[in-house]
Amino acid sequence: MSIAFPNASPGHLETFILATRSSVDSDLTACLWTEEDRLHDTISQLTAWSGPMSLVVVTSAPTDHLTMLKRFPELMSLSDTHASFGLSLHVLQVTSSFGGSANAYLNVARLLAPTDRVVLFPDGLPLHLSSNLYSSIIRSTSPQPLVLGNNSRRTYPFAPMSPVVLPKDYPTWCTERFSLFQSRSLDWEDCLWQLWLESAGEVKSTAVDSWPVVETGKSNNSALSVRCTT
């Protein structure tokens, strides 16, 4: 957080372990984040993931345990359905959620994940998540990042908002050094570039059944355009 927010406003982080029975060395944690006003929609998507999850909720409201459960009773039912997998909920109170750091929030979810390997979902879980996604990617033990997507993009640049599987302690963390437009997609595009660059092009990619086909568009980030052409 100190890298992404060198001059951050005072905040407060509450962590709720609603359920945790995951295996540290064999399970794969889905890491994601959402603003509080999108939490209802996010919760409805979480049931499609059959493994542990680390979810950061960004809010400017009070973050104590009882207040959160009263505002979102679905959290208790979700903990019941995920009791055998593990759900870690991290509520980050900020002065204002506008203009925050998307990659930093995802870094927090990764930092507090309960397992040795994680998959970073920059835009939440896909609406039509394949039922065998978890079982197919958990078999990956590559020490290098693995980008999930479709057959249209198997090398950099990858499709926008492509999730990444990697070891939790992988040395590269997404930073905000190129973030100018307060855009979740552009922030993540920079992170994918960063992973590709710092791995010397060793990032792997795999096609996922029924993954949405979204082609990479021209970036508005001139810094990124320069990097891609040099």
> Is residue 68 one of the residues assigned to a domain?
yes
- Distances 3 to 13, 26, 43, 113 between C-alpha atoms, Å: 17, 30, 29, 19
Q: How far is CA 8 from the centre of its chain?
A: 21
Whether the CB-CB separation of 4 and 107 falls below 8 Å is answered with yes
> Is residue 106 one of the residues assigned to a domain?
yes
* Ordered mean pLDDT values, 10 residues apiece, the chain (230 residues): 45 66 72 89 81 88 70 68 72 71 92 93 83 77 86 79 94 73 82 93 83 51 33
pLDDT tens for residues 76-85? Answer: 666 666 555 6
In this prediction, residue 5 carries a pLDDT of 45
> Is residue 2 one of the residues assigned to a domain?
no
In this prediction, residue 2 carries a pLDDT of 43
> pTM for this structure?
0.81
In this prediction, residue 103 carries a pLDDT of 92
- Distances 75 to 92, 94, 187 between C-alpha atoms, Å: 16, 21, 28
Domain with 136 in it: what CATH number?
3.90.550
Name the token pair of 38. 């999108």
Give me the domain span that covers residue 220: 12-229
